[in-house]
Structure 1
């Protein structure tokens, strides 16, 4: 496999990853916000994370991967949840603020920074720009997990890639009235 060129790295960032990240962040925020404020303790199984823990993991890990691209180094320390983040609304607010800061940082990167090879826990080494795809895949995976928590805790599932049952029911009810 040929290494990425400067032009390819910039193309991936500007034309592929940034638009996709913005879209996925919007969807992920909807899922996090759908967790009822008083149901953050819900977990479907004793070995599962709570809804609040999972929402935090999604928000913090995604931003850690974005920061990996920006800083050219993977930080192996997981972000501790601040004391001020007590429910899903707090997670969503933290996520939005940190994401916007990191998005701004990403737009300022030069091709040399995007091409810097970053080590991921000794498991693999790859160009920094490719950690943006890893960020999306990781968030999509855990967002799917979190979306399965919603109905059992009494919440509505928002539309993700297509209309959800709950959004369809709301639309039909609005049309009928």
Structure 2
């Protein structure tokens, strides 16, 4: 397998990852905001994270992966949410603010920064740019997990890649 060049890494970021990251972040915020504040302790199984743990994990991890691309190093302690940010809605706002800052920083990176090899906890080394995709896939995975909690909590499931049942019912009720 040949090495990723700086031009290829820049192409991937600018023409493949950035648009998808922005679109997925809007969806992620909707799912985070859909968690009812009074249902944060919902846990479908004793081994599962509860809803608020999952909300926090999604918000922090995605930003941590973006910061990995930006800084050229994986820092397991980066992007922590302050203790004063407690509700799903507050966490969604924190997520959006940090994502926007990181997104803008990503757009300014050079190809050389994107091909820097980054070690992930001693498990593997990959070019920094690949952590943008890894973070997005990680977020999509856990966002799906969280969206499966919503109906069980009595919450409405937002549209993700198409109209959700709840959004369709709201549209029909509004005469649409």
Q: What residue in structure 2 maps to residue 64 of structure 1?
A: 64
Structure 2 unpaired stretches of 5+: none
Summarize the alignment of residues 66-85 of structure 1 with structure 2, pairs less than 5 Å apart. Answer: 66-77=66-77, 79-85=79-85
- Is this contact kept in 2: 1:84–1:90, CA < 8 A? no
The residue that corresponds to 1:39 in the other structure is 39
After TM superposition, what 4+ stretches of structure 1 lie above 3 angstroms from structure 2?
78-81
Residue aligned with 1:158, SS: coil
TM-score (norm 2): 0.96
Where does residue 126 of structure 1 map in the other structure?
A: 126
Deviation at 1:5, TM superposition (A): 1.5
> Post-superposition shift, 1:76?
2.5
1:129 CA displacement: 0.3
Matched residue SS, 2:125: strand
1:107 aligns with 2:110: no
Q: Distance in 1 between matches of 2:80 and 2:74?
A: 16
Q: Distance in 1 between matches of 2:155 and 2:169?
A: 14
Q: How many residues align?
A: 176
**Alpha carbons 2:31, 2:146 under 8 Å: kept:** yes
Deviation at 1:79, TM superposition (A): 4.9
- The answer for unaligned runs of 5 or more in structure 1 is none
RMSD, aligned CA: 1.2
Shift of 1:81: 3.6
Instruction: Tell me the CA shift for residue 158 of structure 1.
Output: 0.4
Q: TM-score, normalised by structure 1?
A: 0.96
Q: Is the 8 A contact 1:69 1:132 kept in 2?
A: yes
